[in-house]
């Protein structure tokens, strides 16, 4: 994976910014989102989309599923 994402400074004003797990999840999803179309099990995932699940995200972020649902 290469490239970069741009994040607007207004993110600092977001009401959830001070929740560590929420901002971490948000940034994780931004970074994992496709930058070009991909096919996953015959489904086309376009730019800006990500195919994932709670268990996978919990593992990647080293969080419990309970912590994810609270986030």
Enumerate long-range contacts of 22-27, CB under 8 Å, 24 or more apart: 22/71, 24/61, 24/71, 25/57, 25/61, 25/68, 25/71
pTM, rounded to two decimals: 0.85
Instruction: Check residue 50 and give its pLDDT.
Output: 94
Instruction: Check residue 31 and give its pLDDT.
Output: 94
pLDDT digit string (tens) for 33-59?
999 999 999 999 999 999 999 999 999
Paired tokens of 38: 């991909």
CA distance 52 to 39: 13
Q: Which residue has the higher pLDDT, 16 or 67?
A: 16
pLDDT digit string (tens) for 2-22?
788 999 999 999 999 999 999
Instruction: Check residue 8 and give its pLDDT.
Output: 96
């Amino acid at each position: 994976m290469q490239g970069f994402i741009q994040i607007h400074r207004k993110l600092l004003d977001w009401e959830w910014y001070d929740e560590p797990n929420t901002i971490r999840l948000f940034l994780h999803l931004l970074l994992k989102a496709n930058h070009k179309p991909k096919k996953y099990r015959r489904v086309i995932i376009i730019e800006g989309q990500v195919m994932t699940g709670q268990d996978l995200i919990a593992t990647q972020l080293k969080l419990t599923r309970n912590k994810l649902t609270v986030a």
